[in-house]
Amino acid sequence: MELEVLLGLFILCLLTVFHVLPHLVLLFIVVGVIFFLDRELFKRVDYILLLTFVFFFIFAGNMSNLDSVRNVLQSWMEKDALMTSVLASQIFSNVPAAILLSNFTENAHDLLLGVNIGGLGTPIASLASLITIKFYLRSTHCKSKTFFLYFTILNFFILLILFLFVKFI
């Protein structure tokens, strides 16, 4: 696709973010443009990964509707929004965790720090990590056990350093 077309779609995405253009209108425009200009692109989409994203968001949204979960998250966010955000990111992934926890705090600073730092740790802590792992597993010289071991140790080590730095310095 031409750079100008992609730039135009990007601008439309920004208009949607700023609530100028409804998201469903954007969806139809993007799908239509791709359908007419590069129909083959639909064959290369990783639909399993796309569904993974969708299910993480659905799961996080449903969790916030349970009274017991809502009460616990409210209490934890009041006590330590940073720690709660880091821990929630390990379970729900950092972006769905940010959306989930934003309903329970006015402390945007600690929430955003927590979910950004919380993108490290477990492989599901950041959906970008899942994409990285998927690409690595497709490589010709893949050593999955070694990779997962180093990946996990390094991620938790960096998470710990960043958390301690932000929390105590």
Cα separation, 88 vs 105, in Å, equals: 14
Residues sharing a CB contact under 8 Å with residue 10, sequence separation 6 or more, in sequence order: none
Cα separation, 3 vs 6, in Å, equals: 5
Query: What is the SS3 assignment for 76?
Result: helix
pLDDT at 5: 93
pLDDT at 114: 97
CB distance 45 to 77 below 8 Å: no
Sign of the Cα torsion 150, 153, 159, 162 reads: negative
Tokens of 31: 């799908």
Regions of the chain short of the pLDDT cut 70: 1
pLDDT at 1: 60
72, 101, 135 from 76: Cα distances, Å: 6, 10, 36
pLDDT at 26: 96
Tokens of 57: 């968001």
Count Cβ atoms within 10 A of the Cβ of residue 82 and give its class: 0-12 exposed, 13-18 middle, 19 or more buried. buried
| pLDDT tens for each residue of 11-50 | 999 999 999 999 999 999 999 999 999 999 999 988 988 8
pLDDT at 138: 87
Distance of alpha carbon 95 from the chain centroid: 4
pLDDT at 52: 85
Query: What is the SS3 assignment for 121?
Result: coil
pTM metric for this prediction: 0.78
Cα separation, 12 vs 28, in Å, equals: 12
Cα separation, 59 vs 106, in Å, equals: 23
